[in-house]
Structure 1
């Protein structure tokens, strides 16, 4: 795909390593604490009831294995657009093309969900203002921030994530206090552990409800793979990436399982209708309107953080695809501060579609977008796992040095995760509400296949080279 523009002197194309350990650690903490938790959790609760806690634990275990697989490859090959390049190297050029463009599609769809959620949150304070107005404002605001420098992006993510984390910890403490000391204005459905079993039991919709919830639960974890994207701009990837990834289990237990458990203790699961964030509605239901306003500010911060990360992730992936010859070379160009500016502008242009969708379909848009994002997310995770399996086999076959950050329980846990992700894809097709997302996903793959053979040639069709930083300096992983 040769779309070079001749403008005289060559434009700069190298990203700058401006993300510190502090930035990446909080990006790791904040990446899974976003719209999927603050807004999407309502749909998962409606599907499974209190048993959704099991779904988050099972899904979280799968996400941890994906992240460890990605981490092992990222430490070995810290490059821009990491997992698309790993798929190109270890599976094949089309696999890298599919992975990279699907991740970009995922970030676009997730960003649509995030800007939609931002409009919903602002409606809590300004119910008479059309949602699309807020969506338009936030798209341009985040675009401006992303065009400054990667260091500014890292600092914003640090503070956004810090606000989210502190707020959730305070909410957990406040929720426990309400449960233990009876600080509540409710006379009916009083807060307590009994709410987890009193309204149809712990699994009110049966095993089927639990299985159905995975289509929303996995959306909540989408975006955690952005840690792999940071490998090309991390100052010390071999040290900071493992630390960030190893924090995943604690994040899942604290920020998902414990938090949602407390929410369902405070408010019966069958009263959570999804019209507002469950984090806001519980305190409004309890009569604590001040807390509801504070938490609404927090979930707005969470949405800003997520949109910020979405644009960052898509931009860096497009930059990596351009390096491989699988995207227009113009996407390689960066500003003097190392920002791939054209990718940011492209994402912003695509997000303007969100303004139109929110104007035309304000009530239906969020959960269809969530289903689309789930499909794209699990497809990317599947390609990460397959690439990792191929890498592990090649290491053994060629007698290369062992990895510095190997996955646990190899190979059983990796195989089990692949099977689980295949199950989630099947469930997206089985569920009537999410089936259109699978249809769109299949059409997307078909379009990519046609685009690959029609437009990608030369360098983009060749096996991609990666420097193996576990091996002695200068050794190339390619044959």
Structure 2
């Protein structure tokens, strides 16, 4: 007889204690807020300069990869709604080493990203307070967000909800303003759909430029996987998780494609600058007062939102590592409000370490931190596809319950997603993003060595305990 309530033995149960208070709307806003960051507000110019107008195809392909990823993730997360999420699933269905690598890579990715964001916040605050030392703002905002994460998951979700609302409102405002410039006023020269084919055609850098820009576009979607991490604290995850994932992918795709499309119609792609946001350009064209101040506030909010979410994610991953005995046991202790405070404390060390290194070695530390951060996130995505290949077969073989959401086209779409993502990661070796693999590959090697050393010590420890118990029994027998 089949068991229709298959669960992760010793994994799901181990992570009990976290409060399930998050609603579908909060899950959606957290995921969207994590994905909508400075990459869109400031970095979209880089993607445009890499691909030209064909960047629209790049973002569409990036969205397709994310759609496949979310399909796999939704199915597995509904089956196992834990804070360890894809790390716990990789450990169960692929190999314990896989879970170890995924969770530590995702943890360090978020820890270092938090440090980068908090360092950037100090720069943004200088716009209004140029005479105040940056370290002051680093400590102030770090203290605020640590407090937010330490209070309760509801407090975190409320802050993240409003951070995300500000960013989404800024994007909607940009789309409306851009549409007004294009269609609601007198015709202006150098604006319109002709910009899609001017200055070298739709593919000025060929298919290679379009393909490289797909990788850049994926950075804009990083953070959508946060829904799976929050599932361990979600109300009715069977309903909330699929809804939140679908809404997130659809809205993000719409926002990104519309935003980039409008930007290209207003500003010829050769005029797009890496150091100036498309939002600022539209505001300048409309002669909006204090455009730079408004943009600085939005970017500051984006950085705070990203830092808030990354601190949450890194805390939950460390909590999961502790519960799986891959980290000290005290890191898995929960407060009365269900918050893993010790895991939070360890994760915050990255804030001060990254900020200090960034201040001492600004030219090299940023590249190092971002290189590790980017690799950890991309490696996690790749392992989600790999895990799904193992998950579906083992779930059905063990008689797992019928899940309310399933990845269509299995295993073909899962394999396609893995191939596309792996191809994009390999592509970085031949671009300016080479640093990602230069730091990422040694990082995996280091973790693998650490895992096997730790495993060997555990085996020796258990062997010593067994020997001691055996000797004790023999002595007792002799005394008798």
Q: Normalising to structure 1: TM-score of the pair? A: 0.85
User: Which residue of structure 2 lines up, in the alignment, with residue 142 of structure 1?
Assistant: 145
Aligned pair partner of 2:41 in 38, 42, 67: 38
- Cα distance change, pair 363–272 in 1 and its aligned pair in 2 (3 A): farther
Aligned pair partner of 1:111 in 111, 114, 129: 114
User: Which residue of structure 2 lines up, in the alignment, with residue 61 of structure 1?
Assistant: 64
Q: Does 1:455 align with 2:458?
A: no
User: Which residue of structure 2 lines up, in the alignment, with residue 252 of structure 1?
Assistant: 252
Supply the distance in 2 between the matched residues of 1:58 and 1:367 (Cα, whole angstroms).
Answer: 26
Supply the distance in 2 between the matched residues of 1:404 and 1:84 (Cα, whole angstroms).
Answer: 22
User: Which residue of structure 2 lines up, in the alignment, with residue 7 of structure 1?
Assistant: none
User: Which residue of structure 2 lines up, in the alignment, with residue 264 of structure 1?
Assistant: 264
Pairwise CA distance, 1:183: 7.1
Q: Does 1:19 align with 2:18?
A: no
- Cα distance change, pair 268–128 in 1 and its aligned pair in 2 (3 A): farther
SS in 1 for 2:290: helix
CA contact (8 A) 1:215 1:374 kept: no
User: Which residue of structure 1 lines up, in the alignment, with residue 297 of structure 2?
Assistant: 297
The count of corresponding residues between Structure 1 and Structure 2 is 446
CA contact (8 A) 1:280 1:296 kept: no
- Cα distance change, pair 274–285 in 1 and its aligned pair in 2 (3 A): farther
Pairwise CA distance, 1:421: 0.9
Pairwise CA distance, 1:397: 3.2
User: Which residue of structure 2 lines up, in the alignment, with residue 153 of structure 1?
Assistant: 156
SS in 2 for 1:147: helix
Supply the distance in 2 between the matched residues of 1:375 and 1:425 (Cα, whole angstroms).
Answer: 9
Q: Does 1:81 align with 2:77?
A: no
- Cα distance change, pair 366–197 in 1 and its aligned pair in 2 (3 A): farther
User: Which residue of structure 1 lines up, in the alignment, with residue 417 of structure 2?
Assistant: 417
Q: Does 1:337 align with 2:337?
A: yes
User: Which residue of structure 1 lines up, in the alignment, with residue 353 of structure 2?
Assistant: 353
User: Which residue of structure 1 lines up, in the alignment, with residue 389 of structure 2?
Assistant: 389
Q: Does 1:181 align with 2:184?
A: yes
Supply the distance in 2 between the matched residues of 1:229 and 1:159 (Cα, whole angstroms).
Answer: 20
Supply the distance in 1 between the matched residues of 2:395 and 2:239 (Cα, whole angstroms).
Answer: 22
CA contact (8 A) 2:178 2:282 kept: no
User: Which residue of structure 1 lines up, in the alignment, with residue 445 of structure 2?
Assistant: 446
Supply the distance in 2 between the matched residues of 1:201 and 1:175 (Cα, whole angstroms).
Answer: 23
SS in 2 for 1:270: helix
Supply the distance in 2 between the matched residues of 1:45 and 1:365 (Cα, whole angstroms).
Answer: 26
User: Which residue of structure 1 lines up, in the alignment, with residue 7 of structure 2?
Assistant: none
Q: Does 1:377 align with 2:377?
A: yes
- Cα distance change, pair 263–441 in 1 and its aligned pair in 2 (3 A): same
Deviations 1:198-246 (A, max 9, x none): 2333222222212222332222211111100111111211110010011
User: Which residue of structure 1 lines up, in the alignment, with residue 6 of structure 2?
Assistant: none
CA contact (8 A) 1:123 1:131 kept: yes
Deviations 1:280-302 (A, max 9, x none): 34423653343443333222212
Q: What are the ranges of 5 or more consecutive residues in structure 1 without an aligned counterpart? A: 1-11, 463-479
Pairwise CA distance, 1:405: 0.9
Q: Matches of residues 426-441 of structure 1 in structure 2 within 5 Å?
A: 426-431=426-431, 433-441=432-440
Instruction: Report the structure number with the largest CA radius of gyration.
Output: 2
CA contact (8 A) 2:42 2:275 kept: no
Return 244-253 or 171-180, whichever deviates more.
Answer: 244-253
CA contact (8 A) 2:177 2:282 kept: no
The alignment's C-alpha RMSD in Å is 2.7
Supply the distance in 1 between the matched residues of 2:145 and 2:268 (Cα, whole angstroms).
Answer: 36
Supply the distance in 2 between the matched residues of 1:155 and 1:399 (Cα, whole angstroms).
Answer: 39
Q: What are the ranges of 5 or more consecutive residues in structure 2 without an aligned counterpart? A: 1-14, 463-480
Supply the distance in 1 between the matched residues of 2:267 and 2:391 (Cα, whole angstroms).
Answer: 47
Pairwise CA distance, 1:363: 6.4
User: Which residue of structure 2 lines up, in the alignment, with residue 284 of structure 1?
Assistant: 284
- Cα distance change, pair 406–395 in 1 and its aligned pair in 2 (3 A): same
SS in 2 for 1:247: helix
Supply the distance in 1 between the matched residues of 2:53 and 2:119 (Cα, whole angstroms).
Answer: 26
SS in 2 for 1:373: helix
User: Which residue of structure 2 lines up, in the alignment, with residue 408 of structure 1?
Assistant: 408
CA contact (8 A) 1:65 1:414 kept: yes
Supply the distance in 1 between the matched residues of 2:111 and 2:453 (Cα, whole angstroms).
Answer: 24
User: Which residue of structure 2 lines up, in the alignment, with residue 169 of structure 1?
Assistant: 172
CA contact (8 A) 2:41 2:279 kept: yes
CA contact (8 A) 2:23 2:235 kept: yes
Supply the distance in 2 between the matched residues of 1:37 and 1:31 (Cα, whole angstroms).
Answer: 12
Q: Normalising to structure 2: TM-score of the pair? A: 0.85
Supply the distance in 2 between the matched residues of 1:153 and 1:99 (Cα, whole angstroms).
Answer: 24
- Cα distance change, pair 176–371 in 1 and its aligned pair in 2 (3 A): farther
